Structure 1
Amino acid sequence: MTASPPTPTDLAFDLAPIGLLVTRDRVIERCNRAFVEMFGYSRQQLLGQTTEMLYPSHAEYEDIGARGVRSMLAEGVHRDERIMIHRNRELFWCAVSGHPVDPAHPYACAIWAFEDMRPRRPVRMALTPREREISALIVAGWTSKQIAKNLNLSPRTVETYRLRLMRKLEARTVGELISRVLGLC
């Protein structure tokens, strides 16, 4: 018995130029070629696994997951830019968008798009998970008060992290800090 040719829908999913992912309860159900290539695993290694394997740490998996649920419940979609981890342990920036099938149950089944930002935004420094999280929000233009509220921290704690990041990356201004985090200088 011969296999039937792929449908146009299957071809569009599999050959899309960005990484596409279907998850159920944060478990990988389906992914396309671009996603497989982006993370360095085979499709068989990804299917049936939780997405936690794609995050630099368990804390980042939990924190970003909690933010994702909040934004999907409030807005019906979640978008962010975050640092992810390749199979070879290389960290890289990724733009991520997720849309739940049922807005009332965001992670029951969700469709995700991943854009690899390595060509324009290399990761050039070793940061802790919290520093990565805060630096991503600074790059997104969030204020210390907004970051504090979102991460359940005090604004003073966020300011301490911002100063630590500036020292670590030898940045004199927030603009310079953003440029260094983005790998522009």
Structure 2
Amino acid sequence: MTATLPTPSDLAFELAPVGLLVTRDRVIERCNRAFAGMFGYSRQQLVGQTTEMLYPSHSEYEDIGARGVRSMLAEGIHRDERIMVHRNGELFWCAVSGQPVDPAQPYACAIWVFEDLRPVRAVRMALTPREREISAQILAGRTSKQIAKDLALSPRTVETYRLRLMRKLEARTVGELISRLLGLP
């Protein structure tokens, strides 16, 4: 009796050097080795679980989810960089891209790619959930007005958070702030 060989598409999914994830209504249906390893779980521990367990807080799960729906409805895809949480509690940056199977129902079934940014960007300090959101937006090159619109805040509130981040990270300029957020000296 001969063993069934995996199909090329199964091999590509399982051995991809980035985390791959299939979700239905934000519940993990399938993930590859790289995804499970990135978060410190076995695949068996992840399948059937909500993706909320991978976020630092419930509010970040909700807020990022709402932004994802908006961008998938508008553009058919969602991309961002965000802070996620490892099983051991460590926070780390991820680049995330997601695409729904049916653009009219973004979370009914979606395919996600997660790239672990730990080798190039460290989370070196304790940030609040809102500071993490604003940091991710700053790193994406967005202006205070753009961030305010996206997060439903006033531009003045965004500026206050930006200044708080600069003080916390001892940055004198936005360029220094970006360097510090990226984990550069």
Per the normalisation by structure 2, the TM-score is: 0.98
Structure 1 segments, 4+ long, off by >4 Å, are: none
Cα deviation, 1:41-66, whole Å, max 9, x if unaligned, reads: 01111000000000000011000000
CA distance in 1, matches of 2:91, 2:2: 42
Aligned to 1:48: 48
**Structure 1: runs of 5+ lacking an equivalent:** none
Aligned to 2:78: 78
Letter in 2 for 1:138: I
Letter in 1 for 2:170: E
Q: Percent identity?
A: 86
CA distance in 1, matches of 2:99, 2:179: 30
Cα deviation, 1:121-156, whole Å, max 9, x if unaligned, reads: 111111000000001101111111100000011111
Structural RMSD (CA): 1.0
CA distance in 2, matches of 1:83, 1:147: 17
Aligned to 1:157: 157
Aligned to 1:142: 142
Please state how far the C-alpha of 1:7 moved relative to its aligned partner.
1.3
Please state how far the C-alpha of 1:9 moved relative to its aligned partner.
1.0
CA distance in 2, matches of 1:60, 1:125: 17
Aligned ranges 1:1-185 → 2 under 5 Å: 4-185=4-185
Cα deviation, 1:61-93, whole Å, max 9, x if unaligned, reads: 000000000000000000000000000000001
CA distance in 2, matches of 1:18, 1:118: 13
SS of corresponding position for 1:104: coil
Number of aligned residue pairs = 185
Letter in 2 for 1:98: G
Cα deviation, 1:147-175, whole Å, max 9, x if unaligned, reads: 00000111111111001000000000000
CA distance in 1, matches of 2:3, 2:94: 35
Please state how far the C-alpha of 1:4 moved relative to its aligned partner.
2.4
